[in-house]
Amino acid sequence: MSHVTLVRHGQANTAARDEVSYDKLSDLGWQQAHWLGDWFRDTGERFARVYTGTLVRHVETAEGIGTVCDTAPVRDARLNEMAYFDLAQAVEAQHGLMMPTDREGFVTHLPKVFDLWQQDKVDDAPEPFADFEARVRAAVTEIAAGEGRALIVTSGGLIGMTMRVVMRLDISALAAACLAIENTSLHRIQPLGNDLLLTQFNALPHLDNPDRQFARSHL
């Protein structure tokens, strides 16, 4: 059966506070990607098509995964992450909501930012919420309609938005989904009539061994 597997990129530069500095894999991120590629090959998982966003961390993760398809990955800017740092900085300047420095802080920060963003209460946002949702819906629907199994290497926010599209999540649930998504996690959807069906969320089979538990990361 044709399906689409979405992979979040490996751990990026967690110390960054801007888009450019964040956009590269850490040493752990590279290792996560290598292990995922090994798992694909060990289990005989092959894809007819591979897609990535155009961000460095997407391209590097696909490179770390290695060959799981007979053709080169297609780079599609519609699969790029929202510019979260830019969005958060605008929210901080306009609404006084400070950007956190750890994952615990994002638990309360992310829903507030998403709520303001969806209500168009962020002047000069890098991208309107509705536009982000529309491009994610268009890209994922188009890829799901293609021939053969597809792999998408992208970011957590885009995967979260895919969950919103598929599961009809509200803003609170969207934020919760984004917060749960781990680096190099697997998420699977498949066409079902005119809809898309979620069949897997946040799987980490390549990190399940006890000696790899240290390699699980969210930021």
Confidence of residue 199 (pLDDT cuts 50, 70, 90): very high
pLDDT given at position 219: 80
In this prediction, residue 59 carries a pLDDT of: 97
Chain-centroid distance of CA 58 in Å reads 9
Each residue's pLDDT tens digit, 85-96: 899 999 999 999
User: 108-145: per-residue pLDDT in tens?
Assistant: 899 999 999 999 999 999 999 999 999 999 999 999 99
pLDDT in tens, 20-62: 888 899 999 999 999 999 999 999 999 999 999 999 999 999 9
The per-residue pLDDT for 1 is 56
Q: What is the pLDDT of residue 71?
A: 93
Query: What is the full DSSP assignment across the chain?
Result: ---EEEEEPPPB-TT--SHHHHSSB-HHHHHHHHHHHHHHHHTT---SEEEE-SSHHHHHHHHHH--SSSSPPEE-GGGPPP-HHHHHHHHHHHH--PPPSSHHHHHHHHHHHHHHHHTT-STT-SS-HHHHHHHHHHHHHHHHTSSS-EEEEE-HHHHHHHHHHHHT--HHHHHHHHHHPPTT-EEEEEEETTEEEEEEEEE-GGG-SGGGGGG----
pLDDT for 16:
65
Q: Of residues 101 and 145, which shows the higher confidence score?
A: 145
**pLDDT average, residue stretch 57-79:** 96
pLDDT of residue 104 exceeding 90, the answer is no
Query: What global pTM score does this model have?
Result: 0.94
Q: What is the pLDDT of residue 133?
A: 98
More confident call, 73 vs 2: 73
- Whether 14 shows a pLDDT value over 80: the answer reads no
More confident call, 152 vs 18: 152
Please state, for a pLDDT cut of 70, what percent of the chain lies above it: 98
